[in-house]
Amino acid sequence: MPTYDRKRITRLFDEKTEEKNALKQTEPRATVLEKVSQTAFEQLELKSTDVLLDVGTGTGDTALAAASICCQVIGIDVSRKSLEKARQKASWKNIQSVTFAYGAFEEPCAELDLHSYNITKILAVYSLHHLPDPLKKESLHTLTELLRRPGRVVIGDIMFFEDPEPYREEFEKVYYDNGDTDFPSSIDYLTNCLKELGAHIHVERIHPLVGVVRADFV
């Protein structure tokens, strides 16, 4: 199994948070990430009664956008520096309906008892691919146990619709590091994991190596 190192991932994202203009990309890969983020957000179909869990929230932009629609948002991340930035943004914008806390896919309740939040929607954008397949499967099971039914999980991420080898020149464009810290699943593996948990699946392909999966639980 590929080696997953949460401490290394945390260090990398701490460093990215400290970089100036880290999110203001103008190169082609930003276009792919923006498309995935936008599509995933739309697939949530947020309502005023929803409680959203944003896993891998980073510096909180998506969580803060969602807070203007639904009644409550919880953003979790392994990078405490990213969470600090997210809290600053929430304070500057005077947004009270969002909570940021340390947490990981495999340990979402590290700081908060998320079972008590009546979560109706879960979002993960460009974060799940850091887990190898077996750990990814376990983590999806853990997350869906937090979800109130009916509920929805939306994943926007690197996921292989085709053999990645012919697309090596596009790895940077889609933010794939060729297995250093990234362990994307095939689309079949990812959707099968969710189907085994009882989900109804809808898939949108953004790129041969990137897509959005919506999983509805009734």
DSSP state of 183: -
Domain that holds residue 137: 6-16+27-217
Structure tokens at 49: 């009664």
Mean pLDDT score, 90-103:
97
Name the residue among 100, 91, 5, 111 with its Cα closest to residue 55: 100
Q: What is the mean pLDDT of the chain?
A: 93
- Domain membership of residue 210 (yes or no) is yes
- The domain that holds 65 is classified in CATH as 3.40.50.150
Mean pLDDT score, 33-59:
97
**Angstrom distance (rounded) from CA 81 to CA 89:** 13
- Domain membership of residue 36 (yes or no) is yes
**Angstrom distance (rounded) from CA 195 to CA 158:** 19
Condensed to tens digits (0 to 9), the pLDDT of residues 120-166 reads 999 999 999 999 999 999 999 999 999 999 999 999 999 999 999 99
For residue 22, the model assigns a pLDDT of 46
Q: List alpha helices for 145-184, DSSP H.
A: none
Neighbours of 217 (CB within 10 A): 18
How many structural domains comprise the chain?
1
- Domain membership of residue 1 (yes or no) is no
Q: Which residues pair with 154 in a beta bridge?
A: 123, 214
DSSP state of 56: T
For residue 23, the model assigns a pLDDT of 45
- Domain membership of residue 85 (yes or no) is yes
For residue 6, the model assigns a pLDDT of 81
- Domain membership of residue 21 (yes or no) is no
Condensed to tens digits (0 to 9), the pLDDT of residues 17-41 reads 766 444 444 455 578 999 999 999 9
Condensed to tens digits (0 to 9), the pLDDT of residues 177-191 reads 999 999 999 999 999
- Domain membership of residue 22 (yes or no) is no
DSSP state of 22: T
Neighbours of 158 (CB within 10 A): 24
- Domain membership of residue 113 (yes or no) is yes
- Domain membership of residue 205 (yes or no) is yes
SS3 93: coil
- The contacts of residue 1 (CB under 8 Å, 6+ apart) are 132, 133, 134
